[in-house]
Amino acid sequence: MIRKGDISVKKPEIVAPAGDFEKLRTAIEFGADAVYAGGEGFNLRMGASNLTLQEIGEAADWVHQRGRKIYIALNIFARNYHISGIRSYLKRLAAIPVDAVIISDPGVFLTMREIAPHVPIHLSTQANTTNAQSVEFWRRQGVKRVVLARELTLGEIREITDRSQIETEVFVHGAMCMSYSGRCLLSGFMANRHANLGDCSHSCRWHYVLKEEKRPLESYPIVEDESGTFILSSKDLCTIQYIPELFHAGVTAWKIEGRMKSPYYVAAVTRVYREALDRYCADPHTYVCDQRWLSELEKVSHREYGVGFFFGNQGYQSQTTHPGDRYLKEYDYLGTIQNVLPDDMAEVVVKNRISSNTPIEIMGRRLSEDFTQVLLDIRNEYHESIEVAQAGQKVLIKMSRPVEKYFMLRKCG
């Protein structure tokens, strides 16, 4: 809690993505206060692994044992034929002690209130809540938290939170959508994959050219400069440089996008925002943005970074200038330490090819735990020395410094 004049501002909750159980564990281990995950259906990330009802139960127990929270996304815009399935699903979900269900559709909301009135409801960003009156409307319906539309400025967010009597949440990092908080028909039109039912094909990221009606075999790239222009492909959101401004916006929770990203992405991004927020709350008067945080966020796969709408409509500056759907990727994720063994040996689950005599970086839960070393001793499950380990293998690697379970290996790409 930090006092701002006569007002106390509570430390916001960091909510990280959990596309599957591995990412859920990773998010918690690397500093998330809460995770959000999708069940097997009815959420807007059908491409993610998602969790079965049994896994949601196990995840809820695991998270609660560590004093953290779990929210389940049920945020599709449902058609009539979905409702019976949703009713059946909610009857089973209601028996699991999740901390909230994230909903965008009023019909799903009513079904939830009927079947599981004891489960708190968070209103999804897909509901496009852009003003305090809308927040008040949803409060009166029984919503506990509103995830505000991503098109709001920080000034608007501050005004809404000051006037609201329920919790609010905003996205602070991750992919942005060229449509209004994800309400897009382009994917359904181009690929028959419907964004509002969780199956977006990201058609906005595709390459597009101009063709003249009478010259169908001739195509012309739509360019603005040497790199071209891609007016449908938004930059990724990154707000690490604006921690004080975000804090004093007064929202309850900061959300990181990325249920379809890798465990490495979840770990790297979560720990940076965890460290930045903790440092600011510890001493706001001496706080400065650590340049290492920016460097760390460059080490995960991402599009060009921008500030979204927090400082107003950025126009051309909100769109990527890199050709097509290319991600910027400085580092490769090599694997995660599963167990720590005697004699400084670590059991590693390999995610990408690892070669001996290669300089790598070990990534801890905190930036201060990171170190580099050359891989001089890699062994297979039979303790035989090997030169190369492939994705999917479990190997033993000699560590030059103490490590812990869940630490990760990476190398500059």
Would you state the pLDDT for residue 325? Answer: 46
Helix (H) / strand (E) element for 286: namely none
- Residue 127: C-alpha distances to residues 124, 141, 168, 213 (Å): 6, 14, 13, 39
Helix (H) / strand (E) element for 394: namely strand 394-398
pLDDT of 344 > 70? The answer is yes
Model confidence band, residue 282 (pLDDT cutoffs 50, 70, 90): very high
CA-wise closest residue to 263 among 28, 14, 12? 28
pLDDT of 240 > 60? The answer is yes
Percent of the chain with pLDDT over 90: 65
pLDDT of 143 > 70? The answer is yes
pLDDT of 188 > 80? The answer is no
- Residue 348: C-alpha distances to residues 22, 342, 368 (Å): 14, 14, 21
Model confidence band, residue 172 (pLDDT cutoffs 50, 70, 90): very high
* 320 backbone dihedrals φ, ψ, rounded to 5°: -70, 145
Would you state the pLDDT for residue 165? Answer: 95
Residue 317 tokens read as 């500056």
Would you state the pLDDT for residue 243? Answer: 97
pLDDT of 184 > 70? The answer is no
Percent of the chain with pLDDT over 70: 81
Would you state the pLDDT for residue 357? Answer: 93
State the DSSP code for 310.
Answer: B
Q: Which residue has the tokens 């599981």?
A: 116
Contacts of 192 (CB under 8 A, 6+ apart): none
Rounded distance between C-alpha atoms, residue 352 and residue 171, angstroms: 30
Q: List pLDDT tens digits, range 317-329.
A: 555 545 444 567 7
Cβ atoms 199, 44 nearer than 8 A: no
Q: Residue 193, Cα to own-chain centre: how many angstroms?
A: 22
Model confidence band, residue 197 (pLDDT cutoffs 50, 70, 90): low
Model confidence band, residue 77 (pLDDT cutoffs 50, 70, 90): confident
User: Side chain identity at 226, as an amino acid letter?
Assistant: E
Average pLDDT score over residue span 376-388 = 92
Rounded distance between C-alpha atoms, residue 361 and residue 294, angstroms: 17
Please give the span between the terminal C-alpha atoms of the chain, in angstroms, as a whole number. 41
Q: pLDDT higher for 194 or 412?
A: 412
Average pLDDT score over residue span 15-19 = 94
Contacts of 117 (CB under 8 A, 6+ apart): none
DSSP per residue, 156-181:
HHHHHHHH-SSEEEEEEEE---SSGG
Q: Which residue has the tokens 């602070």?
A: 172
Residue 320 tokens read as 């990527």
Would you state the pLDDT for residue 340? Answer: 96
Q: Give me the domains of the chain, ranges plus CATH numbers.
A: 2-179+233-318 (3.20.20.80), 331-412 (2.40.30.10)
Model confidence band, residue 163 (pLDDT cutoffs 50, 70, 90): very high
Average pLDDT score over residue span 165-170 = 96
Rounded distance between C-alpha atoms, residue 49 and residue 60, angstroms: 17
* Average pLDDT score over the chain: 86
Rounded distance between C-alpha atoms, residue 225 and residue 321, angstroms: 9
Rounded distance between C-alpha atoms, residue 256 and residue 27, angstroms: 10
pLDDT of 314 > 70? The answer is no
CA-wise closest residue to 256 among 244, 242, 247, 268? 268
pLDDT of 115 > 50? The answer is yes
Average pLDDT score over residue span 266-270 = 97
* Helix axis angle, 21-29 to 263-282, nearest 10°: 20
